[in-house]
Structure 1
């Protein structure tokens, strides 16, 4: 099997975890390779995500690293075996690798925590809103790519209505609710969509009001993606318009703490079932209705 020229994030992550295990065992590349019955260059390519590692060899490395965390070991082995193929594969020649990596990560997630400053979260967007947002990123000659990017975003949303959906917690800055992407009707339907999706038992939506901007505004949008084994979690951060993926445990912990703080500062979650007389404090639903009223 030839070496991968452009390994996916999952493949690079597997290689990174193999390297961490080797370092935890105190082994050089050469020593670890001999332990696993392979050559050093082969192991270097594994750690770079350019090739795979046989399960029995991974097991030897886990033993050398004294890794007794069975769920982690099983999840890592699964990460290495996974083909990476899914519904997103048909977009491989159209959209960038970051799109495919995100869809693959979301497909394995049990918890998603998303903060958005300027846009409605992609998993909550309507077709017209997504079309309006993508319209500014492609010129007329790339109409087909734009249409497929919108289609791709809507297909990502199917995880929220799948048989085993992840828990999804979105925190949206009020600024994102007030920008009329696509016009008044598009934004009206989008706000109504937020209320509709908040009825799903696994979806929580909060709004950070503008009045708390000084305390609660965060420098950029991000999503914490947690799979079944939290140690293999990832953060997607949108920095200066570029999506970056982070797997360093301290970085993930920092973003989790930031999300927790944002949740504390945001208004109480949307509760479509709450009666007007039962709402004694300002909440996310009330703010959305206030913004929505002039658009009706």
Structure 2
């Protein structure tokens, strides 16, 4: 099998985890190659995500590293053996690679925590709202590319209703709900969509109000698979989004999200001031 020219995030993450195992075992690249009966160059290509590693060899390295959670080892083996194919593969030639990586992470997540200060998060956007966001984007794109991007975003929402749908917890700043993006009718339908989402069993939505503490200015998403050591933080950017897999980084963003949930309005309509009632107040003038 030839080497990958452009490894996906999953493939790069697998390589990074293999490198962590090697370093934990205090082995040089040459020593780990000898341990697993491989050429030294093969190890370097594994760690850069350009090729994979058999389950047998990975277990050999994990044994040398010692005292590892068996669930982590098995999850890492699975990470390396996955084909990477899914519904997002149909968009490989029409949307940017980081978006495909993000969809693959969502598909493998057990829970997702998302903070958005300026826009309704993609998993809860209506088609019209998503189209308006793309039309006002940072980079001008042809109408055909815009259509593919909107279709892709809407398709991502299937993850919320699948057999193994993740738990989704979102904190959205009130500013995102007050912007009349694309007109009154568009925002009315979008707010109604948010109210509907509040009643989904696997979705928790909270609004961070204007009269709350100063908001965290950067949107981010923490995607957590069953084995938390393989979690990823994605910080979106108009040029290149930041993908963080280091345990310390994931912990920092998870801690920030926990603080945001405490500052945001409670999710359910059971208090004088909560998320659903705030959305309903914003919706009333648009009816």
Size of the aligned set, in residue pairs, is 286
Matched residue, 2:28 = 28
Q: Deviations over 1:147-191 (max 9, x none)?
A: 010000011000111122100001000000011111110001000
Matched residue, 1:4 = 4
Q: Deviations over 1:190-217 (max 9, x none)?
A: 00000001111110000000112xx241
- Indicate if the aligned counterparts of 1:55 and 1:77 stay in contact, CA closer than 8 A: yes
Matched residue, 1:283 = 274
**Given the superposition, is the C-alpha separation of residues 218 and 23 from structure 1 closer, same or farther in structure 2, using an over 3 Å criterion?**
same
Q: Deviations over 1:240-293 (max 9, x none)?
A: 664211001111000000000000000010x3xx4xxxx443111121111111
- The CA distance in 2 between the partners of 1:189 and 1:262, in whole Å, is 26
- The CA distance in 1 between the partners of 2:214 and 2:260, in whole Å, is 6
- The CA distance in 1 between the partners of 2:163 and 2:55, in whole Å, is 30
Matched residue, 1:268 = 266
Matched residue, 2:151 = 151
Matched residue, 1:173 = 173
Gaps of 5+ in 2: none
Matched residue, 1:128 = 128
Give TM-score, length-normalised by structure 1.
0.94
Q: CA RMSD in A?
A: 1.2
Gaps of 5+ in 1: none
Give TM-score, length-normalised by structure 2.
0.97
Offset, 1:219: 2.0
- Indicate if the aligned counterparts of 1:221 and 1:239 stay in contact, CA closer than 8 A: no
The secondary structure found in structure 1 opposite 2:88 is helix
- The CA distance in 1 between the partners of 2:3 and 2:45, in whole Å, is 8
Offset, 1:220: 0.7
- The CA distance in 1 between the partners of 2:104 and 2:178, in whole Å, is 31
